[in-house]
Amino acid sequence: MNPFLVWILQLYIYFVAVIMMVYMIRHVIFTFNRLNKNQRRFYHEILDSELPPVTILVPMHNEEVVAEGVLRALIESDYPKDLMEIIPIDDHSTDRTEEILRQYGERYPYIRPLYRRTGMRGKPAGLNDAIERASHEIVLVFDADYQPPADMVKQLAMAFVDPEVGAVMGRVVPENTRGSLLTRIIDLERSGGYQVDQQARFSLNLIPQYGGTVGGFRKSVLLSIGGFNPRILAEDTDLTYALYTRGWQVAYANRAECYEESPEDWGVRFRQVRRWARGHTQAAFRHFLPTLGSKYLNFWQKLDGVLLLGVYAVPTLLLTAILCHIVLLLSGAVAPFTLLLAAAFIIVNAYGNFAPFFEVGSATLLDGGHRRLWLLPYMAFAFVFNVWAVVGGLKDALLDVAREGTPQWEKTERFRQ
């Protein structure tokens, strides 16, 4: 084999090993911080101060199964109703969603549904239309399958007493964990992502992410950046970086737990992860350089920001590094196996993959989880599953760039009985 090609392939493997090592260290730092260090608190202590008026948006597309659930939960909220406006967005629904929204709109004066029958379909486009109708500066967003507890609105709205906070995010907890093996695995992933990852980023003053499913933002700030970009599927990641690169902060409320319905079908989950990867990669293309160049972010925030943007690129890097390994192995170029290449091999294949499990296991422990810990080994197979979904999402994002088109929004199927 051509020595130059061998050198290039080896160099690439070292590069991927270094990237994996950085992500591994990041996982370990986050986990140790969350397990042992004093945690930065949210704004719970000021719950009794004056409450701001809020607008609550609930995007819906064919949500007849769950629409009543989220509206009822919001009606039962302990937030004063004269300070609350709910705008459910019926986005081109063809089922009973419109009928349900009309009934609730007629019964409750603070529910003002928005019926979208023209224009672009999709969550970002729907939110843009609804924001124009929003009466209040503080805007909260809940996905239609969410079940916000009674104090959720109050908890999230309180973050905005801090004038530096541009957006807030609560914790997502799957409610249907007994539904299937998949929902239990998602529960573990969610636990690691919020209990450790998000909280550690908030505690370490890095980049906690606005998640778009149980959170909120300032209307004026969103309008000042031109609203949500309808061509980006991960409007939440897009907003997070738009805020940080303009000097705003995102607050994370680990105590504000909101229940969601997780997919119970692997096919639905595959499409969901693929869509996230696609949207996240679109946002990465858009915000990578502005993040590095932002004068509002310190070194560690920039590093975390870039790592967060690149998180969906890691599986593809891993797969390509494995292909390089195969070529090197078959051509005999690995035969004089150097210590460095061997170490790279181990890091890429073993420890790099182990670190996320360490994070998830620790999060489960903090959550008081017990028997769920038995499921950790099965997550290794779910990891392979996620790798393929993410690779598919990356391919979609690259095609989006090539075609310069607007991606079709794909709704997640609901399973509630």
Partner 1 sequence: MRFENDPEMERQSTPREEQASLRQAQGVATEASVAAGRVLLHRAYRRLFAQNRWVLLITVLVAAVVHYFFFLNVEWFVWKMCVYAQQAGAFLDFGARGGSLGYDDYMWRRLYPLVFDIPEFDRLGYLIRFLICGVIALLLALWRGLNAPIRLFLVTTVLICTVSTLYLAIVQDLGFDGFEISKLYLRLVLLTWVCLPIPFLLLSLGFPFNPIERLLVTFLPVVYDFGFSIVRYLVLIWLASTLGGWAVPLFFVIVGPLMMVVFYICFFSLAMKRVADRMRRDEVKGKVWRL
Residue tagged 């992502």 (tokens)? 193
Instruction: Give the residue with the Cβ less far from partner 1, 199 or 294.
Output: 199
Q: Which long-range contacts (CB under 8 A, 24 or more apart) does 220-227 make?
A: 220/137, 221/166, 221/167, 221/246, 221/248, 222/131, 222/139, 223/131, 227/124, 227/127, 227/128, 227/131
8 binds partner 1 (CB under 8 A): no
285 binds partner 1 (CB under 8 A): no
CB of 357 to partner 1, least distance (A): 5
377 binds partner 1 (CB under 8 A): yes
Closest among 134, 128, 127, 129 to 110, alpha carbons compared: 134
Sole window of 35-43, 51-59, 113-121, 306-314 interacting with partner 1 (rule: CB under 8 A): 35-43
Instruction: Give the residue with the Cβ less far from partner 1, 285 or 357.
Output: 357
28 binds partner 1 (CB under 8 A): yes
Query: CA 383, CA 223: separation in Å to the nearest integer?
Result: 38
Q: Which residues, 387 to 416, sit near partner 1 by CB under 8 A?
A: 388
4 binds partner 1 (CB under 8 A): no
370 binds partner 1 (CB under 8 A): yes
- Exactly one of 226, 374, 402, 403 binds partner 1 (CB under 8 A); that residue is 374
Q: Which residues, 84 to 143, sit near partner 1 by CB under 8 A?
A: none
CB of 339 to partner 1, least distance (A): 7
- Dihedral, 208, 214, 218, 223 alpha carbons, nearest 10: 100
- How many residues touch partner 1 (CB under 8 A)? 69
Query: CA 391, CA 405: separation in Å to the nearest integer?
Result: 20
325 binds partner 1 (CB under 8 A): yes
195 binds partner 1 (CB under 8 A): yes
- Exactly one of 12, 23, 266, 285 binds partner 1 (CB under 8 A); that residue is 266
Residue tagged 């729907």 (tokens)? 126
- Exactly one of 8, 46, 289, 380 binds partner 1 (CB under 8 A); that residue is 380
Q: Which residues, 208 to 247, sit near partner 1 by CB under 8 A?
A: none
β 165-174/249-260 pair status: parallel
- Dihedral, 202, 203, 206, 209 alpha carbons, nearest 10: -10
351 binds partner 1 (CB under 8 A): yes
CB of 113 to partner 1, least distance (A): 33
- Exactly one of 316, 320, 349, 412 binds partner 1 (CB under 8 A); that residue is 349
Q: Kindly state the tokens that stand for 159.
A: 């973050």
H helices of 76-198, in order, are 97-107, 123-133, 152-158, 181-191
CB of 58 to partner 1, least distance (A): 25
Instruction: Give the residue with the Cβ less far from partner 1, 350 or 402.
Output: 350
- Going 392 to 398 to 403 to 407, the CA torsion angle's sign is positive
Closest among 236, 228, 161, 220 to 406, alpha carbons compared: 228
Q: Which residues contact 265 (CB under 8 A, 6 or more apart)?
A: 182, 413, 415
Closest among 341, 359, 321 to 19, alpha carbons compared: 321
Question: 220 burial class (0-12, 13-18, 19+ CB within 10 angstroms)?
Answer: exposed
184 binds partner 1 (CB under 8 A): no
150 binds partner 1 (CB under 8 A): no
- Dihedral, 268, 271, 273, 278 alpha carbons, nearest 10: -160
Which residues would be at the binding site for partner 1 (CB under 8 A)? 1, 28, 31-32, 34-39, 41, 171, 181, 195, 199, 254-255, 257, 266-267, 270, 322-323, 325-327, 329-335, 337, 339, 342-343, 345-346, 349-351, 353-354, 357-358, 361-362, 364-371, 373-382, 384-385, 388
